[in-house]
Amino acid sequence: MALFLRRTTNIIKHFLVTKSSLATNQTSLTPSFFSVSHNVCSKSYGLAPIPAVFRRMESTKAAELKLDPQFYSSEEEEDDREYPSSEPEGMDFPGGKVMFTSQMSFIAEPGKTRVPCYRVLQDTGVPTSGEIHKLVSEDLATRMYNSMVTLQVMDTFLYEAQRQGRISFYMTSHGEEAVNIASAAALSSEDIILAQYREPGVLLWRGYTLQEFTNQCFGNKADRGKGRQMPSHYGSIKHNYFTISSPIATQLPQAAGAAYSLKMDNKDACVVAYMGDGCTSEGDFHAGMNFAAVMEVPIVFICRNNGYAISTPITDQFRSDGVVVKGQAYGIRSIRVDGNDALAVYNVVQTARQMAISEQRPILVEALTYRVGHHSTSDDSTKYRPASEIEHWKIAKSPITKFRTWIERNGWWNEEDELEIRKRIKKEMLQAIQVAERLEKPAVAELFTDVYDQPTKDLVEQEMLLRESIIKHPKDYPTDYAV
């Protein structure tokens, strides 16, 4: 572990030093943290922050916290289970004193009552509280909506480009635009992102252009990854966005290590690690969560629970009440939020970030959403879920429609604005695709660079064999790249 921590520290320091100067994307608004009352399951719940005075210890030893009841429910409120009376004596065991009992009692499995889901807007776009307009300004709200629409249009064009055979692969974020954009809006540009593969909106929010997205998907010589990554697997040092790795959940232990580096360097920033619900069935999820909790690092885990791990529904993945309850087992503060409610996601992530940095602790956010599109262009989701279900979430629960209704109610948006933005983005995407297609592919030599300072003997041999094969079988290779 010591070697892992040292390597992680070196990597993250190099990452921070070599990145270009970033334009701060964090809104200039002073974060407004206040309780937002709303009805969920016929009860009233609120979301509010912990004051900065409640800080964790500087070391990795856990500090005993006294939590303000204004912000946290008591242990009695959180746990209604009745335990037999304990004996007066207990056992001093690592982690704290454990009381003895003469009665055998098993901890019960989850009951029928599920953890409530925090929301601000109803599905119709009508607020649950009259004070929520204070969450975001008009400028921030319209920028968020702009970005959600941009992501939707970009996804549509690049998906169709794959269907036309112009790129090899693509993954859309249809139905999950609010999780992407609202979470990104709540972060600072200094926060480090380790995403999965359905968070291009975070990179879009940070300034990655439509042309850059398109170049990556076409794998041309303008692609910063030099055509060596699958389409939709973006990365940008400039934007503090680690390159995507296809194997799921591998980013989570790495994210915990990166957060530990921020902790050691006393950075006023956190790491944000995105994942899908399928990641929670991987061992790396548990390793990352436990590492983050034990080392008390500033990290926000955001799980997009969209109901399916490709074709596997969550009912076939786990028996727990979703993902949010998994945090408690690791000693991680957790919350469930309506992932199709941009305002709710923004408020939760902004508060989670504040907690993670000020208290030096991990936070788990489970965003309940729905993948309206297929898992990827290699998938046909109608084989494992009914078309009527997809249509219901696409129409009745659209995060874009919900947010648009709200900003229109405030007088911040109208039909003319809608037509103008969609027309402009479509034009930009058409131009981006035309430019990307005209650019040639990276040279064959780029396949063997950027790993070692000097190519090793086996790499030199592999490059020679590849060039011989291209000359011998020219019809088996594309022609739009430099040999």
pLDDT in tens, 153-181: 999 999 999 999 999 999 999 999 999 99
Question: Could you tell me the two tokens for 431?
Answer: 């131009």
Q: What is the pLDDT of residue 86?
A: 54
The mean pLDDT value for 309-316 works out to 94
The mean pLDDT value for 294-305 works out to 98
pLDDT confidence band for 209 (50 / 70 / 90): very high
Domain limits, the chain: 2-30+57-101, 138-438, 444-476
pLDDT confidence band for 74 (50 / 70 / 90): very low
Instruction: Please give the CATH superfamily to which domain 138-438 belongs.
Output: Thiamin diphosphate (ThDP)-binding fold, Pyr/PP domains (3.40.50.970)
Q: What is the pLDDT of residue 250?
A: 97
Q: What is the pLDDT of residue 311?
A: 95
Q: What is the pLDDT of residue 84?
A: 54
Q: What is the pLDDT of residue 131?
A: 65
pLDDT in tens, 383-438: 999 999 999 999 999 999 999 999 999 999 999 999 999 999 999 999 999 999 99
- Angstrom distance (rounded) from CA 360 to CA 353: 10
Pairing of strands 43-45, 38-40: antiparallel
DSSP string, 133-200: GGSS-HHHHHHHHHHHHHHHHHHHHHHHHHHTTSSS-----TT-HHHHHHHHHTS-TTSEEE--SS-H
Closest CA to 366 of 402, 398, 318: 318
Q: If 0-12 CB within 10 Å is exposed, 13-18 middle and 19+ buried, where does residue 462 land? A: middle
pLDDT confidence band for 331 (50 / 70 / 90): very high
Q: What is the pLDDT of residue 16?
A: 52
Q: Would the pLDDT of 17 be above 60? A: no
pTM to 2 decimal places? 0.82
Q: What is the pLDDT of residue 256?
A: 98
Q: What is the pLDDT of residue 409?
A: 94
Instruction: Give me the active site residues, please.
Output: 160, 246, 375-376
Q: What is the pLDDT of residue 19?
A: 47
150, 204 Cβ separation under 8 angstroms: yes
* 3-class DSSP assignment, residue 345: helix
* 3-class DSSP assignment, residue 38: strand
**Residue of 137 and 134 predicted with greater confidence:** 137
CA distances from 403 to 35, 131, 148, 254, 406 (A): 21, 16, 10, 34, 5
The mean pLDDT value for 326-340 works out to 97
Q: What is the pLDDT of residue 134?
A: 67
Q: Report CA torsion sign: 176, 177, 178, 179.
A: positive
Q: What is the pLDDT of residue 360?
A: 98
Task: Return the half-sphere exposure (C-beta side, CA atoms, 13 A cut-off) of residue 69.
Answer: 4
Q: Would the pLDDT of 78 be above 50? A: no
Q: Would the pLDDT of 320 be above 60? A: yes
Q: What is the pLDDT of residue 133?
A: 57
